[in-house]
Amino acid sequence: MKHLLYFLIPAILLVACGPQERVSKNVFDEVNSSMEAKKLSEAQITQEAMIWGDSISSEAQQQLMANLHKAVEENGYAEALEFCNVNAAPIIKLLSDKNGVSIRRTSTRTRNQDNMPTEEELPILEAYQYNMENGIENEPNIQKIEGGDVLLYNKAIVISSEFCLACHGDPKNDIEIDVLSKIDSLYPRDLARGFKVGDLRGMWSIKLPKKSVVNRL
């Protein structure tokens, strides 16, 4: 049995990596030839990824905030909380599909477990946290991932005002009892409480296919 496993593991790895690498090589060649045709440098592509990522994250932020404010004004925080529970992910998904990219919000202290950081995202979040604690300004940045085929745009999300505290602040002083009990029942493993204004809450993480970035230029 052991021998079979030794044999199987490399075989599985080959199957898992083989076709993917081929696709990646095709994408690589295609991106390369269109970069050459357009005489583009890596720096221009990174700059365009930054512009695109800034615009997508602003739009996503604006849409979430507009919907959230409306829900709070109409029905109060407890109802708005349920609104977030049901609608935050679909709003982000719709924008992802519209742009042909993958948009996420992630944090080391998540409310929704689906937003837990990936291996690529965790060190970026940690760097943002370090900067925040040491008075260094956090700028959005671009990381090359998936062998350079994808540009990962990320941007810090900060607890910008007291408004956020109604659902992410100190459970004793900032979050109303009915809101807190809704959080506890919807998110039994919630870590996204106890924040203060100015704290790092998380980040936007947007995967931009390099090919699409090149096509924008």
Query: Distance between CA atoms of 206 and 104, rounded to whole angstroms?
Result: 6
Cα Dmax for the chain: 65
Q: Both tokens of residue 140?
A: 């959005």
Nearest CB to ligand HEC, comparing residues 57 and 213: 57
Q: Which of 115, 138, 154, 205 binds ligand HEC (CB under 6 A)?
A: 115
Q: Which two tokens stand for residue 158?
A: 């900060």
Q: Which of 40, 91, 132, 166 binds ligand HEC (CB under 6 A)?
A: 166
Tokens at residue 113, please?
A: 């477990």
Q: Which of 180, 202, 206, 214 lies at the binding interface for ligand HEC (CB under 6 A)?
A: 202
The only residue of 99, 112, 141, 212 in contact with ligand HEC, by rule CB under 6 A: 112
Q: Between helices 42-99 and 177-186, what is the axis angle to 10°?
A: 100
- Told to check if 200 binds ligand HEC by CB under 6 A, we report no
Structure tokens at 29: 């060649």
Dihedral angle, C-alpha 49, 87, 90, 212, nearest 10 ° = -10
CB of 208 to ligand HEC, least distance (A): 20
Candidate ranges 7-15, 84-92, 126-134, 141-149; the one touching ligand HEC (CB under 6 A): 84-92
Q: For residues 139 and 149, give the distance between their C-alpha atoms in angstroms, rounded to a whole number.
A: 23
What are the distances in angstroms from CA 40 to CA 34, 109, 210? Answer: 9, 39, 12
Among 57, 107, 138, 154, binds ligand HEC (CB under 6 A): 107
Torsion of CA 126, 128, 133, 138, to 10 degrees: 170
145 counts as binding ligand HEC under rule CB under 6 A: no
Q: Which is nearer to ligand HEC, 8 or 116 (CB)?
A: 116
Q: Which is nearer to ligand HEC, 68 or 213 (CB)?
A: 68
User: Which residues of this chain interact with ligand HEC, rule CB under 6 A?
Assistant: 68, 72, 77, 80-81, 84-85, 88-89, 105, 107, 110-112, 115, 157, 159-160, 163-164, 166-168, 192, 201-202
